[in-house]
């Protein structure tokens, strides 16, 4: 029987993962030297992007602990490279590693807007808030060249379709014209994730994400443009970033956020191994405490995938974090529940070839 192979590499500049474990659907992954680097690992890896022709785009879910039932993803994989990203295991479905492959071998879906327009035009479609950025970031660096997210936003604007966006990327500022227009009609809200105020920790944990101060500046710009924005203190890492909870919320409120949320660090499937490898390399003195806290909240396991437990865990520590969060939000005037977006404005726009109305 063949076993999955883990290719361990030296720290690669601007990348978080320290290995490239074969995906769980691969029989094996074998590393062989080809002489190109004279057996010396490269200090950087270029990002590779291939195009995928999407046949469908909207993905539906029935998760009772998610505030949305549908989402889209313009990209697969994410160059931001957050070591803790719960979406890493999805790369295994592509026959790629949730490790370095997830950060460096991306898939773009250039016909996404065209497919989205077709799906929203279907007679059977029933409107509800569409989420973007819940798996991989729609405003990661490659969006600057591909423009897929902006094209999808243009479609949503044309249909008066409500959308909730989550991002760490500053490129969202490029789309302020569309977003502010949609905000005036109650059609959009944005969540900006800020995991820590420590720029050094951020650079090591999420190597290609804008520094915390820059993300707070994005919150300010969105707020000033009339776009409702929440600060997302996610993921919160016990024993590493949990002490920053109140400071993060205060910084978000000062920047103009009107709501807030938090999610505990999640380590599904391959993420656990990748995270612990990172932790032993970058924070060896805290590694034991971090993992002990996580296991305490998940019945002794690294992660509990059960609905109702997977986002925040359970037990005394998780309850304490929840109390701290609620008290800080009350003091700062941050809402835990955002105002609902409008669904009553949804309408299929006129298209070439449509029959003209007689009235």
Q: How many whole angstroms separate alpha carbon 317 and alpha carbon 325?
A: 12
Of the listed ranges 223-227, 280-284, 347-351, the one predicted with least confidence? 347-351
pLDDT confidence band for 306 (50 / 70 / 90) = confident
Q: What is the pLDDT of residues 152-193, one digit of tens each?
A: 999 999 999 999 999 999 999 999 999 999 999 999 999 999
Q: What is the pLDDT of residues 232-261, one digit of tens each?
A: 999 999 999 999 999 999 999 999 999 999
- What pLDDT sits at residue 27? 45
- What pLDDT sits at residue 352? 63
Q: What is the pLDDT of residues 60-113, one digit of tens each?
A: 998 887 888 999 999 999 999 999 999 999 998 899 999 999 999 999 999 999
The region that residue 14 occupies, defined by phi over 0 for left and psi between -120 and 50 for alpha, beta otherwise, is: left
Residue 269, SS3 per DSSP? coil
C-alpha distances out from residue 159 to 131, 152, 200, Å: 15, 11, 42
Backbone angles phi, psi at 192, to 5 degrees: -110, 120
Q: How many whole angstroms separate alpha carbon 252 and alpha carbon 195?
A: 11
- What pLDDT sits at residue 45? 78
- Average pLDDT rounded to a whole number, residues 312-339: 95
Q: How many whole angstroms separate alpha carbon 152 and alpha carbon 114?
A: 8
Q: How many whole angstroms separate alpha carbon 158 and alpha carbon 285?
A: 53
Residue 220, SS3 per DSSP? helix
Q: Which domains does the chain have, with CATH numbers?
A: 48-332 (3.80.30.30)
- Average pLDDT rounded to a whole number, residues 329-345: 95
Higher pLDDT, 132 or 312: 132
Could you tell me if 212 and 194 are in contact, meaning their C-beta atoms sit under 8 angstroms apart? Answer: yes
> How large a percentage of the chain has pLDDT more than 70?
86
Closest residue by Cα to residue 212 from 230, 189, 233: 233
- What pLDDT sits at residue 355? 58
Could you tell me if 137 and 168 are in contact, meaning their C-beta atoms sit under 8 angstroms apart? Answer: yes
């Amino acid at each position: 029987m063949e076993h999955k192979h883990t290719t361990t590499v030296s720290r690669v500049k601007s990348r978080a993962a320290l290995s490239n474990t074969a995906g769980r659907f691969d029989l094996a992954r074998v590393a062989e030297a080809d002489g190109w680097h004279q057996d010396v690992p490269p200090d950087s890896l270029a990002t590779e992007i291939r195009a995928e022709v999407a046949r469908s785009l909207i993905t539906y879910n029935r998760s009772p602990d998610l505030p949305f039932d549908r989402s889209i993803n313009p990209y697969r994989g994410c160059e931001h490279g957050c070591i803790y990203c719960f979406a890493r295991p999805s790369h295994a479905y592509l026959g790629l590693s949730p490790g370095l492959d997830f950060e460096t071998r991306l898939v773009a879906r250039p016909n996404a807007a065209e497919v989205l327009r077709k799906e929203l035009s279907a007679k059977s479609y029933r409107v509800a808030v569409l989420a973007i950025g819940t798996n991989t970031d729609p405003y990661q660096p490659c969006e600057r060249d591909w423009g897929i997210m902006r094209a999808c936003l243009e479609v949503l604007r044309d249909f008066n379709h409500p959308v909730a966006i989550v991002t760490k990327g500053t490129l969202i500022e490029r789309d302020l014209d569309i977003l502010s227009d949609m905000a005036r009609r109650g059609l959009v809200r944005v969540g900006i994730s800020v995991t820590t105020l420590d720029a050094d920790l951020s650079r090591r944990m999420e190597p290609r994400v804008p520094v915390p101060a820059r993300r707070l500046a994005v919150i300010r710009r969105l707020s000033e443009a009339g776009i409702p924005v929440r600060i997302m203190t996610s993921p919160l890492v016990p024993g590493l970033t949990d002490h920053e909870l109140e400071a993060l919320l205060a910084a978000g409120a000062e920047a103009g956020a009107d709501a807030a949320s938090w999610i505990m660090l999640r380590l599904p499937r391959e993420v656990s191994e990748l995270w612990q490898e990172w932790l032993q390399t970058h924070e060896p003195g805290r590694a034991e405490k971090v993992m002990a806290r996580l296991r305490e909240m998940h019945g002794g396991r690294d992660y509990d995938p059960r609905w109702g437990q997977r986002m925040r865990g359970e037990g005394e520590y998780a309850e304490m974090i929840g109390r701290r969060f609620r008290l800080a939000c009350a003091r700062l005037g941050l809402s835990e529940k955002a105002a609902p977006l409008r669904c009553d404005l949804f309408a299929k726009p006129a298209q070439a070839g449509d029959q003209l109305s007689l009235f």
